[in-house]
A = this chain, B = another copy of it.
């Protein structure tokens, strides 16, 4: 993730006309040696193991937080209070209280011109940004159905090793916070609506995972019959959702969908049309327009690579696709422009905190026999 962000900071001003030119100054990590190596790889002049010291430096204007979720709040709030702009990876925090504290700090900071953004990077996929534009223009009318699936399979093998992402203390939740959070943000942003309540169920199919050699002090990869660690997060989650304006949402997130490497999919059905997207074909958007003449209707495959498409005009000719990393480059573009007063940084920490409240409601419902749970504190 660090390499992705560094590439974005390095690249954005080469292809977009930015009001400011970002410069990667210092990389911060916990281990001095590894941080020094990272600084070299990422192309930073300096490294540090003390983020609080870096925040105080006069030559640092912005902090990009890529650490695990349990550290986000402390760093972000301190940085904002020190007057630094903040880009924070998603999910914003590991619980609602932290997320709200961050949102409040971000609100106060914004009054002083200090900008913050949460890294729900999929918003920067040209095809999805095009979808958002089409929805906003009314092209598909009033949305009735939201159908979002985020399907991965890297845990399908029961002997895939244990990682911190399977530890609830570090990661908060499993598939829910890791990938389901993306679906929630995307769905709310695309529809311009928010989720009012959910009914959910969660599953852990594989209870223990082998520890890697380094984790148990051995010099080799853990054997099949070696020590195993308890998995304390969900492998999969599914929930139905009620949107404020009436749409019915069906969400599923799993890391056990054998064969689906990164199928981040969403489909919207409105009363005038539909949109469908799958990140495995990230340069394409499917649009169905009910206003097409009878007999000539069908889902059309738009390659979101044309000059008129969001972000795409800065890159290659039509039909020459972009890749995953460009989402992060676009994120930098939008953030830098917002800092310079051109546009508003989104999603704000407040929006990201609302996603956190949906995540909490999903967990609450899953622990209460799937009974419908209202998302607290939703925007009215």
Contact = CB atoms under 8 A, between A and B. Distances in A.
A144 B303 CA distance: 23
Given A248-B201, A250-B252, A321-B324, A303 B294 contact: no
A353 to B, nearest CB: 25
- Chain A interface: which size bin? 35 or more
B270 A258 contact: yes
A116 interface: no
How many copies of this protein are present in the complex?
4
Contacts of A289: 296
Contacts of A298: 259, 286-287, 300-303
Nearest to A308: B295
Contact of A301 (B157, B282, B292, B299): B299
Contacts of A292: 300
A110 to B, nearest CB: 32
Interface of A: 3-4, 6-7, 10-11, 14-15, 41-43, 130, 134, 140, 144-145, 147, 149, 151-154, 156-158, 199-201, 203, 205, 236, 238-240, 242, 246, 248, 250, 252, 254, 256-263, 269-274, 279-283, 286-290, 292, 294-303, 305-306, 308-309, 315-326, 365, 369-372
A306 B153 CA distance: 13
A351 to B, nearest CB: 24
